[in-house]
Amino acid sequence: MKAFLPLTLVAGLALAAACTQPSEPQGALLYVENCTGCHGLTGQGDGPLAGDYGIDVPDLTLISARNGGVFPMADVMSTIDGFTRVQHGNVVMPEFGALLEDGPIVSFDSGDGIPTPTPAALVALAEYLETLQRTP
């Protein structure tokens, strides 16, 4: 009986740990938590809150297409962070920089050759958006 209790305890802890580990990359989880309300699960601007603002929510799957086939990583990160304010009619996209600044900082080069200390969560979210790109 004594061996059963530790084995049960170990199995229970392993199960609890498995349940708390994200099954998707961090960027996808951040997207689901912060972006799907407006942009939808696929990023096409069809989230459950999209109609509440009286505007067309931007289709995030066409960012590259709108930029000559190039994903503008620095611009996307600036928009998510809130440094660049994006206004759609009378609606401004919320700033997510404060939400994403907790956690590790990574050295990120957005293409200008200058590594910049950047929240890892911001990089992960922008990199996830890059995976959603499609051609119209």
pLDDT in tens, the chain (136 residues): 444 334 343 333 333 333 334 435 899 999 999 999 999 999 999 999 988 878 788 999 999 999 999 999 999 999 998 877 666 555 667 888 888 888 999 999 988 899 999 999 999 999 999 999 998 7
Whether 66 is covered by a domain: the verdict is: yes
Please say whether the beta carbons of 58 and 38 come within 8 A. no
Tell which residue, 61, 56, 91, 98, has the closest CA to residue 76: 61
What's the whole-model pTM score? Answer: 0.76
Q: Nearest 5°: phi and psi at 134? A: -145, 165
Whether 45 is covered by a domain: the verdict is: yes
User: What pLDDT, on a 0 to 100 scale, did the predictor assign at position 86?
Assistant: 64
Tell which residue, 92, 109, 101, 107, has the closest CA to residue 125: 101
Sign for the pseudo-dihedral over CA of 97, 103, 109, 111: negative
Whether 34 is covered by a domain: the verdict is: yes
Burial class (CB in 10 A: 0-12, 13-18, 19+), 123: buried
Whether 19 is covered by a domain: the verdict is: no
| Domain count along the chain | 1
Please say whether the beta carbons of 106 and 125 come within 8 A. no
Domain that holds residue 28: 24-131
Sign for the pseudo-dihedral over CA of 95, 100, 121, 39: negative
Angle at 117 between CA 112 and CA 118, to 5 degrees: 90
Whether 7 is covered by a domain: the verdict is: no
Whether 9 is covered by a domain: the verdict is: no
Whether 101 is covered by a domain: the verdict is: yes
List the structure tokens of 4.
Answer: 């059963």
User: What pLDDT, on a 0 to 100 scale, did the predictor assign at position 94?
Assistant: 82
CATH number at residue 93: 1.10.760
Whether 90 is covered by a domain: the verdict is: yes
List the structure tokens of 117.
Answer: 């200390």
